């Protein structure tokens, strides 16, 4: 059902269970991507793997043919902010790559992404990636009934800018369920105490894109690939979130660390 006076859908318990199932599948596929991330593979290799793994789970790769997108997963390397199209590009030692997985299962969508290290990251690559990871964690901590959507953007912006990074404004998180990109739009910048209040049963993504340099982006001639305007690095992490009566549930939570993504030393 839709929350009275707004376009935000409130999920029933049955719908929430469907969301848990599809989100768990998407998280599983993303977890299996990690071990294959190494110098020499192509982004097309990642697409081939995600496509086959998704089908083996009984799901469908939601990006494929979505509004004309030609592949089953988004692969965004280094200066690519989001919506990178898999192809012949070979990963090189020191690259970072965001892999964005979305499954469609039983009529519901589950969306998650992570940034992976290829070999040994540079200091700048590690910094922007870990700022993105921590930004998502801080944003999730804001989600509970009574708080507002502006609190998400404020938490991300306050932290990322204090770390010398910027927050992409051209792309946002989104409501998700039976529709891939639904209301609300979830900005990753904002002011505390603004926006709609969280209500139990809402499901949406939080997916901060954090840039090493300027926050502005541009889209390449393929009409999909968004890159930083200054050519500097960008990193992103994403989870699908459910608002619960007491807080929130990370529907795309993984059971363990992501290989080639998680750093085992303390960064902050």
Task: Report the CATH number that the domain containing residue 147 is assigned in CATH.
Answer: 3.90.230.10
In a domain, 45, yes or no: yes
Report how many domains make up the chain: 1
In a domain, 169, yes or no: yes
In a domain, 158, yes or no: yes
Instruction: Please report the pLDDT score of residue 249 as a whole number.
Output: 98
Instruction: Please report the pLDDT score of residue 51 as a whole number.
Output: 98
The model's pLDDT over 128-178, given as tens digits with 9 standing for 90+, comes to: 999 999 999 999 999 999 999 999 999 999 999 999 999 999 999 999 999
In a domain, 259, yes or no: no
Q: Which domain holds residue 200?
A: 13-250
In a domain, 170, yes or no: yes
Instruction: Please report the pLDDT score of residue 1 as a whole number.
Output: 55
**Cα within 13 Å of Cα(152), Cβ side:** 27
Instruction: Please report the pLDDT score of residue 6 as a whole number.
Output: 58
In a domain, 22, yes or no: yes
In a domain, 114, yes or no: yes
The residues of the chain scoring below 70 in pLDDT are 1-6, 263-268
Instruction: Please report the pLDDT score of residue 65 as a whole number.
Output: 98
In a domain, 151, yes or no: yes
């Amino acid at each position: 059902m839709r929350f009275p006076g707004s376009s935000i859908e409130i999920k029933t318990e049955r719908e929430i269970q469907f969301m848990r199932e599809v989100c768990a599948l998407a998280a599983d596929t993303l977890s299996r991507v990690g071990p294959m991330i190494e110098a020499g593979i192509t982004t097309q290799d990642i697409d081939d793997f995600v496509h086959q793994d998704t089908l083996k789970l009984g799901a469908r790769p939601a990006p494929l043919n979505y509004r004309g997108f030609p592949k089953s997963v988004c692969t965004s390397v280094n200066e690519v902010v989001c919506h990178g199209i898999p192809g012949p590009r070979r990963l090189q030692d020191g690259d970072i790559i965001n892999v964005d997985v979305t499954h469609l299962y039983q009529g519901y969508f589950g969306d998650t992404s992570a940034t992976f290290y290829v070999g040994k990251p540079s200091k700048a690559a590690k910094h922007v990636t870990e700022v993105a990871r921590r930004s998502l964690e801080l944003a999730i901590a804001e989600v509970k009934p009574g708080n507002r959507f502006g609190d998400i953007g404020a938490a991300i912006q306050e932290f990322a800018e204090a770390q010398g990074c910027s927050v992409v404004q051209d792309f946002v998180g989104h409501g998700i369920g039976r529709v891939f990109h639904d209301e609300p739009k979830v900005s990753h910048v904002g002011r505390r105490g603004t926006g709609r209040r969280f209500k139990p049963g809402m499901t949406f993504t939080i997916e901060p894109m954090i840039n090493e340099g300027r926050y502005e982006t541009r889209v390449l001639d393929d009409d999909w690939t968004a890159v930083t305007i200054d050519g500097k690095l960008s990193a992103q992490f994403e989870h699908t979130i459910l608002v619960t009566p007491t807080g929130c549930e990370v529907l795309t939570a993984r059971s363990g660390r992501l290989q080639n993504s998680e750093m085992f030393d303390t960064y902050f």
